[in-house]
Amino acid sequence: MMSPLLLGAGKDVHKSRGDVLVLDTLTDTDGVNLTAHVPEKDTVGLGWQPYPTTYTIQGNKAATPNQAGRQYNAIDAGQADLTMECDVTFPNPAKTIGLVGRLQSAQVCWFYVIHSSLVAQIYKDNAGFTLMASSVGFVPVPGTTYRFEVVLLGNSHSFYIDDILRVSVPNDAFVAAETEFGFWVNGGTGAERWDNFSLSP
């Protein structure tokens, strides 16, 4: 059983992780569309889906198109309760970047980000952004790569960065049954990067 978690506390590294549902180190030829790329493990088998435009592989990382507006690429895990992990590079100059979870459609989902205002945040998107939680005491450094971990269990959302719980939403049932997860940016410049993505029960 997991021990109680406090904001700013180290996560319980002894929790059971089970079998990986999705594993992708984003290793491929530069310029390959993410929709044509095959992850190391894809339990459902549908691959990466663009919302609306496919990312590409650059330097063995996922990279955004240079395009305005919300840009997601997501993959189906086959279940809604899981742990999502990824190495996310916070751009320099600062740009809001992160992961999308429980994606129902291009504007109906959750997202977990480092914001350009230098805080970690959780939002829900229902054809409009709603800020649900914002960190205190965490100041990300532009140009730094951070390990994101999002733990979703029932209606709770816990967002860790570098193994420390930065922010959480304890009880919200919005799109709680959706099973697509992946990369998120609002207005890609082409410089954003994600690596070592996994989804585990």
Domains of the chain in start order, with CATH, are 22-194 (2.60.120.560)
pLDDT of res. 27: 98
Give the mean pLDDT of the chain: 90
pLDDT of res. 50: 95
Q: What's the mean pLDDT in 4-18?
A: 42
Over the stretch 92-106, which tens digit does the pLDDT of each residue have?
888 899 999 999 998
Model confidence at 86, in pLDDT bands (50, 70, 90)?
Answer: very high
Over the stretch 138-196, which tens digit does the pLDDT of each residue have?
999 999 999 999 999 999 999 999 999 999 999 999 999 999 999 999 888 888 999 99
pLDDT of res. 5: 37
Q: What's the mean pLDDT in 61-84?
A: 93
pLDDT of res. 106: 84
pLDDT of res. 6: 39
Q: What pTM, to 2 d.p., does this model score?
A: 0.91
Model confidence at 18, in pLDDT bands (50, 70, 90)?
Answer: low
Work out the percent of the chain whose per-residue pLDDT is above 90: 75
Distance CA 100, CA 1 (A): 27
The answer on pLDDT for 15 being more than 70 is no
Where is average pLDDT lowest: 13-17, 85-89, 109-113, 195-199? 13-17
pLDDT greater at residue 164 or residue 3 = 164
